[in-house]
Structure 1
Amino acid sequence: MSNTSTKTLSYPFIFGKKTELYFALLCGVFLCIGFLLEKLTHIPAVGYKIMYAISYVFGGYFVSIEAFKKISKGGFDIDFLMIAAAIGAIYIGSWAEGALLLFLFSLGHALEHYAMHKAKKSIEALGNLSPKMALVKRNGIVEEISVESLHIKDVIIVKPNTKIAADGVIIKGNSSINQAPITGESIPVDKESIPTLKRLPEFSEIDKKHTVFAGTINGDDSIEVLVLKLSKDSTVSRLIKLVSEVETQKSPTQRLTKKFEKWYVPIVILMVFLLCFTYLVINETFEESVYRAITVLVAASPCALAISTPSAVLSGIARAAKKGVLIKGGKALEDLGSITAIAFDKTGTLTEGKPTLKQMIPMHGFNEFEFAQLVLEVESLSNHPLAKAIAKDIKKRYQIAVTDNASNVKAIQGKGVTATYNNQKIYIGNVKLMEDAGIEVDSAIHSKMEHLLLKGETVMLVAYNTQIAGMISVMDVPRKTAKSTIIKLRQIGVKYMIMLTGDHQNVGNAIAKQIGLSEAIGNLLPEAKVAEIKVLLQNHKKVAMVGDGVNDAPAMALSTVSIAMGAAGSDVALEVADVALMSDKIENLPFVFGLSTASKRIIKQNIWISLGMVLFLVPITILGLTNIGIAVLLHEGSTIVVVLNALRLLRYKMD
């Protein structure tokens, strides 16, 4: 509509951030009152004109401020033309027309600014990721200081189940770290202290098993971290910077509107001004020339054009809301229909977002139930999130309960756990754990593990009484509707779909194969996801990004349209997103894409109707072939047709 969507409102707010919206609604209320008084009562004209005048005040207040700002800088825009057309409508006696014009235009203004305010909250949400205070150990003394006061090479103490305050390397202790806020990994990652600090490489080059990020969550053990990045340089701070930079970029739609205003408004103003002096060249009075000019101004005012897109957008957004989808503005609604590639996050988007027990494979004389009971006894005593998930799924699958036959459970960082079961030693973990315990892992077991790993499953060996008793595997499984959603998206014209994930490449490949994606790229940090989106934009022009976590926010912000999984999504993802699936149903994606296509079609129809009417009315009013009444009637008629056409979207159903 106007170029104000990129501006920050500097005038005072009477009713807070929603003042502009309240003013637009009040404009509509007094317009309705005035119209009813005019048509249904016999009160003097001054009565309903007062109502219209109040409507003008509320509808024109913010629009006038924006128009004045532009004029003070030596330019004119549609804001000015709308005010001029409204005043012209008063001059020729069409009070209701002018009030309606201001109501619709001011409502569009308000909705644009409201969406802008919501977008800014994304940066605030990102800033809340990192803790504000940190426990630092200096000269043997532990004190709590602000994160901004930390220095490079400071040592911070991170207590169990608390957020890590800075990017750094673990120098003491081992723990399991929940990195989902930054990397999107579905399973907590075991971290251990670095053996030596001599010749310490750059942060990005240190083995990931030793490094931690600000904003991630420590597990059940206390650790000490050597700070390698200041607050302003941390991974979270870079995310904030990335989102901020992308959100300040102007959209193609805004640039197109600016070009339109640059030429259309001055031409109309000049034309109306010149028409005021036609009495100098033809035989008519000055009053008749002014009357003609004002009639042309009303005919040329882009009332129907101004609401052609907003009316369709609002109808489309309302229809989407009924389906549990929040679309934040017209650009997203329009762009969705021209998307040719979609990048999906994995965890919580295409998958359930939590580890699920996949396989229980007993060996060497154990039957499945005996093996399940053995694993349950040990894992139920562990606080590790993965152990809790395994124990929960075993109980559900085999309908068995804990008998308390296990004891002395001990976690061995980066390897697994040991325990005593029926007075025998039991080990659950990786190959390294078995080798350290002197337990043979033969080639057949290695081959089976490789097979499961290639399928994207995380595999653990179980040893009992000095031999392998079996293996268990877990996996973050695809959503039940993911595959059918991908098929429908391909049917409606989305040619290329890819997964971008922080998980291992094998995990990404396995999920992609199961649900029918074109490709999967794993082991990606947020900045790497941004780089992949840039490549997609170069190759496919218009790209959508679907995600649910903080780690997805920069990539989502860069994409043409960003889509967040609502119920499971982080506050940051929801704020950055242009579209939010509030019902958390990925199967609603094809509906949204179809709705966008229908919306674009109706917007084009509305533009042709509105421009066609302007192109028809302006010449005949200039030539004096019609009077004001007919001009207003046709102008109103085109507006009504445009609105009714847009309202068809409220009944949209996918074929």
Structure 2
Amino acid sequence: MNNHKTEAHNHNHNMIFGKKTELYFAILCGTFLILGFVIEKLTNLSTWTSLTSYIIAYFFGGYFISIEAFQKIRKGGFDIDFLMIAAAVGAAYIGSWAEGALLLFLFSLGHALEHYAMNKAKKAIKALSDLSPKTALVKKGNQIIETVIEDLKIGDIIVVKPNTKIAADGVIVSGNSSINQAPITGESMPVDKTAITTLENLPEFKNIDKKHIAFTGTINGDSSIQIHVLKLSHDSTVARLIKMVSEVETQKSPTQRLTKKFEKWYVPIVIIVVILLCFSYLIIDETFNESLYRAITVLVAASPCALAISTPSAVLSGIARAAQKGVLIKGGKALEDLGSITTIAFDKTGTLTEGKPKLTNVITLNNFDENKFLQIVLEVESLSNHPLAKAIAKDIATLHNISFKNTATNIEAIQGKGITALYENTKVFIGNLKLMQDEAITVTNSVTLKMDSLLQNGHTVMLVAFKKEIIGIISVMDLPRKTAEATLKKLSTIGIKRMIMLTGDHQNVGNTIARQIGLTEARGNLLPEDKVAVIKNLLATDGKIAMVGDGVNDAPAMALSTVSVAMGAAGSDVALETADVALMSDKIENLPFVIELSRASKRIIKENIFISLGVVAILVPVTILGLTNIGLAVIFHEGSTVIVVLNALRLLAYKEHL
């Protein structure tokens, strides 16, 4: 009853009442059923009036099911729909029109509700595609021309007015604004964006600083901006999201695979048993009609409708709920696996940490004036292109309010040791111990001790020498995300036992961060292939493991893990392609929510299977023994289908507990 390809459905749907035709047909079936029942029991009208009412009920109740069953039979598949129609036809044959109509009513209602649930879940996702506006304002010379999205070219400049949607992925080239990225990344707060200063040597899209990037479908704030288009609409983050979500259903969950296998054997067995039961009058003392009646009642009782729908409805509702929070879960498998995880491996850089080095210590020595010291370091570091130098210069300027005067010259990088430059015509050296020793600058014991204690704590340390003596120490470090500690705490509260950080950095760095944010262990000095080996070992010891990373340098390790979770996937193609779960924003704090949601989904799947198999297990023996009539069998059996769907829909309203 699930695996119907909804396409077959949709073209029938839009007939009379538009999208909800199926639901209205089910309701009409119910109305005529009640009408027929009232006429039959409470009036003296002739039988054909109530019969007509039942026949109309049959039409409305059986319409969609028959179309679907017919399409399946043509492909050689007998499934539950076929059993249901057989039962309804049989009921009519033995004169139990009311029961047959009741059967069709509840079955079509269950069906319609299922499609409604599926469509609701798909709508939550389809809403993504309505995010991107249909046209954009393109700047051509001094003119601004309204252009349909499909005609945008890479390199076009589009003008985005205040409070309107952004029409393409690109980089902001003029104007500053705060942009609401919730539709794509799930971030609730608007993000401040600024124009990039130059388009020369622009790195790849995913490597451009996020503060200059605008995504399709996000909403501009209060000021006008201009965007240089970098991706065409079919390639935009939104388009890829939609494509992925529509493929989501293909990855069936383990439970779903099991139910499919079960149905494949179960349906033919039911058909054989029912046919045999038709001939039971030959053995026991009853009429052919009584045998037929029992066979048809068994047919109704034995159809595993609720079972067929129990998993897909829960999986889709879970996925749709996650999508509202800016989390993309690819398929039932990822959803179910995530719920059973107790070990998580984290890549360090950009996942648990900001991924940007920050200036952590400024220590002056020999009573050297701090402001002068900072000025020297700023002047020299500003001339270097090294990421660490850039980070130091930026932090000195912002944290210590020192402005760059451009007074240093002759910068030179000394490979693996540091840099040197001229400041006030005197040589300045900034670098490691080796550099100072090579330049014959004395490093006292107290300085080495200070350095060592910083190194022990995971800082990258540089000595600064001026006029042949050491005037100070600076250190930088990639600091943990502000939310990392709280997130890990929450993860251990919800029962994640092992949280391991994998990093290419020095083991000291790993240990420090692990201590600060509460990880169970840290593994340092790992190359990408070492990460793969660690994951292999963890899989051997812990069975299942989730790996959280940004999906770029850790793609091989992520591919190997049971469930891979990518952070900040909105900007990175690799992460979107390879990960099973993608957090569209950089928010690691969404992780506990997703794990809890997966567990809730697993729970609901279990409940649903229990309900559906339970009902079948009770009804089949009872009906074979002829202890119940067809009406009761129908109510119990179809009622379970409706309950299962409603149970699954609870996931759409899932809230975090903590």
Q: Which TM-score band applies after superposition, normalised by the shorter structure?
A: 0.5 to 0.7
| Cα gap change, 1:87 to 1:58, in 2 (>3 Å) | closer
| Cα gap change, 1:601 to 1:53, in 2 (>3 Å) | closer
Q: Which residue number corresponds to residue 269 of structure 2?
A: 267
Pair 1:408-2:410 in alignment: yes
Q: In the alignment, is the contact (CA less than 8 A) between 1:504 and 1:522 conserved in 2?
A: yes
Q: In the alignment, is the contact (CA less than 8 A) between 1:325 and 1:582 conserved in 2?
A: yes
Q: SS at the partner of 1:293? A: helix
Aligned positions of 1:143-162 closer than 5 A: none
State which drifts further: 364-373 or 398-407.
364-373
Q: SS at the partner of 1:462? A: strand
Q: SS at the partner of 2:366? A: coil
Pair 1:34-2:25 in alignment: yes
Residue identity opposite 1:421 in structure 2: Y
Q: Which residue number corresponds to residue 211 of structure 2?
A: none
Q: In the alignment, is the contact (CA less than 8 A) between 1:334 and 1:600 conserved in 2?
A: yes
Q: SS at the partner of 1:355? A: strand
Q: Deviations over 1:444-489 (max 9, x none)?
A: 3333222222212112222212222212111111011111221222
Pair 1:55-2:64 in alignment: yes
Q: In the alignment, is the contact (CA less than 8 A) between 1:461 and 1:470 conserved in 2?
A: yes
Residue identity opposite 1:519 in structure 2: E
Q: In the alignment, is the contact (CA less than 8 A) between 2:359 and 2:476 conserved in 1?
A: yes
Q: In the alignment, is the contact (CA less than 8 A) between 2:26 and 2:112 conserved in 1?
A: no
| Cα gap change, 1:254 to 1:311, in 2 (>3 Å) | closer
Aligned positions of 1:344-355 closer than 5 A: 344-355=346-357
Identity, % of aligned positions:
61
Pair 1:330-2:332 in alignment: yes
Structure 2 CA distance, aligned partners of 1:556 and 1:110? 32
Q: Which residue number corresponds to residue 523 of structure 1?
A: 525
Structure 1 CA distance, aligned partners of 2:579 and 2:318? 17
Q: SS at the partner of 1:456? A: coil
Structure 2 CA distance, aligned partners of 1:587 and 1:281? 67
Residue identity opposite 1:304 in structure 2: A
**How many angstroms does 1:107 deviate by?**
9.0
Aligned positions of 1:363-378 closer than 5 A: 363-378=365-380
Residue of 492, 504, 528 corresponding to 1:490: 492
Structure 2 CA distance, aligned partners of 1:62 and 1:639? 22
Structure 1 CA distance, aligned partners of 2:9 and 2:370? 64
State which drifts further: 453-462 or 596-605.
596-605
State which drifts further: 27-36 or 587-596.
27-36
Residue identity opposite 1:367 in structure 2: D
Q: SS at the partner of 2:475? A: strand
Q: In the alignment, is the contact (CA less than 8 A) between 2:548 and 2:558 conserved in 1?
A: yes
Q: Deviations over 1:60-108 (max 9, x none)?
A: 588667x73xx6xxxxxxxx33242243255244444454566677899
Q: SS at the partner of 1:382? A: coil
Aligned positions of 1:255-294 closer than 5 A: 256-257=258-259, 260-261=262-263, 263-284=265-286, 286=288, 288-294=290-296
Pair 1:643-2:645 in alignment: yes
Aligned positions of 1:164-175 closer than 5 A: none
**How many angstroms does 1:30 deviate by?**
3.4
Pair 1:343-2:362 in alignment: no
Q: SS at the partner of 1:428? A: strand
* Matched residue count: 508
Q: SS at the partner of 2:360? A: strand
| Cα gap change, 1:85 to 1:523, in 2 (>3 Å) | farther
Residue of 633, 652, 657 corresponding to 1:654: 657
Q: Which residue number corresponds to residue 449 of structure 1?
A: 451
Q: Report the TM-score when normalising by structure 2.
A: 0.68
Q: Which residue number corresponds to residue 215 of structure 1?
A: none
Residue identity opposite 1:584 in structure 2: D
Q: Deviations over 1:268-287 (max 9, x none)?
A: 23322322322332345555
State which drifts further: 97-106 or 260-269.
97-106
Pair 1:618-2:609 in alignment: no
Q: In the alignment, is the contact (CA less than 8 A) between 1:30 and 1:51 conserved in 2?
A: no
Q: Deviations over 1:197-253 (max 9, x none)?
A: xxxxxxxxxxxxxxxxxxxxxxxxxxxxxxxxxxxxxxxxxxxxxxxxxxx999754
**How many angstroms does 1:424 deviate by?**
1.1
Q: Which residue number corresponds to residue 389 of structure 2?
A: 387
Residue identity opposite 2:64 in structure 1: S
Residue of 597, 600, 603 corresponding to 1:598: 600
**How many angstroms does 1:51 deviate by?**
6.3
Structure 2 CA distance, aligned partners of 1:583 and 1:55? 42
Residue identity opposite 2:411 in structure 1: V
Q: In the alignment, is the contact (CA less than 8 A) between 2:253 and 2:331 conserved in 1?
A: no
Q: In the alignment, is the contact (CA less than 8 A) between 2:551 and 2:578 conserved in 1?
A: no
**How many angstroms does 1:20 deviate by?**
7.0
Q: Which residue number corresponds to residue 555 of structure 2?
A: 553
Structure 1 CA distance, aligned partners of 2:547 and 2:104? 47
Structure 2 CA distance, aligned partners of 1:24 and 1:560? 40
Q: Which residue number corresponds to residue 478 of structure 1?
A: 480
Q: In the alignment, is the contact (CA less than 8 A) between 2:251 and 2:333 conserved in 1?
A: no
Q: Which residue number corresponds to residue 82 of structure 1?
A: 80
| Cα gap change, 1:111 to 1:578, in 2 (>3 Å) | farther
**How many angstroms does 1:636 deviate by?**
2.2
Structure 2 CA distance, aligned partners of 1:578 and 1:352? 23
Q: Deviations over 1:482-526 (max 9, x none)?
A: 112212222222111111122332222221121111111123233
Aligned positions of 1:232-311 closer than 5 A: 252-253=254-255, 256-257=258-259, 260-261=262-263, 263-284=265-286, 286=288, 288-311=290-313
Structure 2 CA distance, aligned partners of 1:250 and 1:601? 17
Q: What stretches of structure 2 of length at least 5 have no aligned partner?
A: 36-51, 92-99, 124-199, 209-249
Q: SS at the partner of 1:550? A: coil
| Cα gap change, 1:282 to 1:486, in 2 (>3 Å) | same
Q: SS at the partner of 1:269? A: helix
Q: What stretches of structure 1 of length at least 5 have no aligned partner?
A: 72-79, 115-159, 165-178, 182-247
Q: SS at the partner of 1:477? A: strand
Q: Which residue number corresponds to residue 188 of structure 2?
A: none
**How many angstroms does 1:346 deviate by?**
0.7
**How many angstroms does 1:330 deviate by?**
2.9
Structure 2 CA distance, aligned partners of 1:263 and 1:345? 45
Q: In the alignment, is the contact (CA less than 8 A) between 2:255 and 2:311 conserved in 1?
A: no
Q: Report the TM-score when normalising by structure 1.
A: 0.68
**How many angstroms does 1:593 deviate by?**
2.6
Structure 2 CA distance, aligned partners of 1:276 and 1:342? 57
| Cα gap change, 1:61 to 1:88, in 2 (>3 Å) | closer
Structure 2 CA distance, aligned partners of 1:550 and 1:21? 40
**How many angstroms does 1:22 deviate by?**
5.2
**How many angstroms does 1:427 deviate by?**
1.7
Q: In the alignment, is the contact (CA less than 8 A) between 1:25 and 1:107 conserved in 2?
A: no
Residue of 424, 430, 433 corresponding to 1:431: 433
**How many angstroms does 1:619 deviate by?**
2.0
Structure 2 CA distance, aligned partners of 1:34 and 1:251? 32
Q: In the alignment, is the contact (CA less than 8 A) between 1:315 and 1:647 conserved in 2?
A: yes
**How many angstroms does 1:442 deviate by?**
3.4
Structure 1 CA distance, aligned partners of 2:120 and 2:334? 14
Residue identity opposite 1:55 in structure 2: F
Q: In the alignment, is the contact (CA less than 8 A) between 1:324 and 1:582 conserved in 2?
A: yes
Q: Which residue number corresponds to residue 397 of structure 1?
A: 399
Structure 2 CA distance, aligned partners of 1:598 and 1:101? 22
Q: Deviations over 1:106-136 (max 9, x none)?
A: 899999999xxxxxxxxxxxxxxxxxxxxxx
Q: Which residue number corresponds to residue 357 of structure 1?
A: 359
Q: Which residue number corresponds to residue 240 of structure 1?
A: none
| Cα gap change, 1:463 to 1:50, in 2 (>3 Å) | farther
Structure 1 CA distance, aligned partners of 2:396 and 2:7? 56
Structure 1 CA distance, aligned partners of 2:257 and 2:62? 34
Residue identity opposite 2:416 in structure 1: G
Q: In the alignment, is the contact (CA less than 8 A) between 2:29 and 2:57 conserved in 1?
A: yes
